[in-house]
Amino acid sequence: MTSKILIGNLDTEADEDGIREFVLPIMSQVLSLEVPIEARTGKNRGYAYVVVRTEEEAHKAVSLLHGRNSLGRNLTLTVVESAPVKGKWYKFGAV
């Protein structure tokens, strides 16, 4: 099952290629990388999401990269827990 990692405290000058170069030596099974861009400035918003193949790899990456310096900033990494699926508050045909 895939796992998502939030990388925070990124420098706004960091681009997608630079982030890939930083994380790929540690996270060899990166499935996707999402870097939200601020529409007004065209720079990243200071965080990114990385999806990796396994939860074990996500926890390994967090333990190895959390607090590491990138472009003068100490990065914060967190494994994003998936939100529980909520049941419907109504039932059709309930008697």
Report how far residue 79's alpha carbon sits from residue 51's, in angstroms, rounded to the nearest whole number: 10
Per-residue pLDDT of 67-90, as tens digits, reads 999 888 999 999 998 766 666 666
Reported confidence tier of residue 52, pLDDT bands at 50, 70, 90: very high
Domain boundaries, the chain: 3-80
Q: Which of 11, 3, 4 is nearest to 75 (CA)?
A: 11
Distance CA 34, CA 45 (A): 11
Q: Is the pTM of this model over 0.75?
A: yes
Intra-chain end-to-end CA distance of the chain, in Å = 38
Domain 3-80: homologous superfamily in CATH: RRM (RNA recognition motif) domain (3.30.70.330)
For residue 43, the 8-state DSSP code is S
Separation CA 1–CA 88 (nearest Å): 25
